[in-house]
Structure 1
Amino acid sequence: MSYSSFVLLTVLISYFEESLSTSCVVDQFNVKKGFDQKRYAGKWYALAKKDPEGLFLQDNISAEYFVDDEGTLTASSKGRVKLFGFWVICADMTAQYNVPNPQEPGKMEMIYQGLASYLSSGDDHHWVIDTDYDNYAITYACRRQKADGTCDDGYALVFSRNPHGLPPNIQRIVRRKQEEICLSGQFEPVLQSGACP
């Protein structure tokens, strides 16, 4: 290999690595344009998830979203969680959402509370990466960012209106969106057995 070919290859590799890291900067992720809370309201079932660090719902995860007369979005969610390494129970959570920038309604802040003292509470970003409102939704939260703007601790969920899965054409859309948020291959399936009605 000639010296000029080596230099060109080095520059191309450097550019490729930089473009990859830039695409994973959380603040550059696209969310659903013109997100409509009223169309989003209703029941959703988690089909796949990427867990954050710490305690997180294990399976049979569902969320029901409501929009009140003032336009405030709230949710009630359920799912099984394992406590103390062996005790599996159905847990209930509630959340309220705030849209800090009306120009980006898909980027929300979520204040959540477990309905029992052993469940966590706090606030996270809650971004609706994509949805068609009738079949699927992909949500994302980054709890802690690295200095370079990529996510150090985050989670994401793939939701469906149907607890039994998504058709192949929508699965392709979901996989593409998982790549766009740099989580391709990091999701695990969520069991929906009806254990937490």
Structure 2
Amino acid sequence: MEGESSINVSKVVLNAIPESTYIKYQNPSAANTPTEDQPQDTSRKGYFLEKDLHSTTKMKMHFRKTTNEATFLPRQVADSIPFSSDKFPEILNRQEYELGVGVKVVADKSVVCHKQKYPYAVFYCHAIHKTRVYTLPFVGTKDGTKAEVVASCHIDTSAWNPKHAVFQVLKVKPGTVPVCHFLPRDDLIWVPK
């Protein structure tokens, strides 16, 4: 479907969400995870609680239709894009999506593969225990743009670093509630049939 931000082929899903938008989860309990001592803008990192997975939940998101390099734009088009900081609220409003009907639990176990920075495809893969994988249908609140997104909800975070940024953003403590995030662009997730 045109404009979708994921590809689903035989239970393998490849997300198309910009890598720089999300924090990597390769070792969430490590001592070197982001903390409140390391300020970050986590409002757009894709963190949310599992209890928020219902129709009409609104989230600010950015979906890219392609990973191709940017091209030059005609002056008229470039001038129509709000780039100044005083237009920041307008920019964020262009990115609001509402969770639609049809949230699906895909699996209770999975293997995630993170694309590594090589000139050819190399992935770091690992099993994820005590997680649920969801597909989430989103609809743009302004123009009705549709996107299907894959999310991973970590059910047991009790071993995670209590100073991890996710707990600061969601204002929860480790092990109290499942915490979720979207899969970064180019990550693969394998689930049982």
Larger radius of gyration: 1
**Which structure: greater strand fraction?**
1
**Which structure: greater helix fraction?**
1
Higher relative contact order (CA 8 A, sep 6+): 2
Q: Do both proteins adopt the same fold according to a TM-score greater than 0.5, normalized to the shorter chain?
A: no
Query: What TM-score do the two structures reach when normalised by structure 1?
Result: 0.29
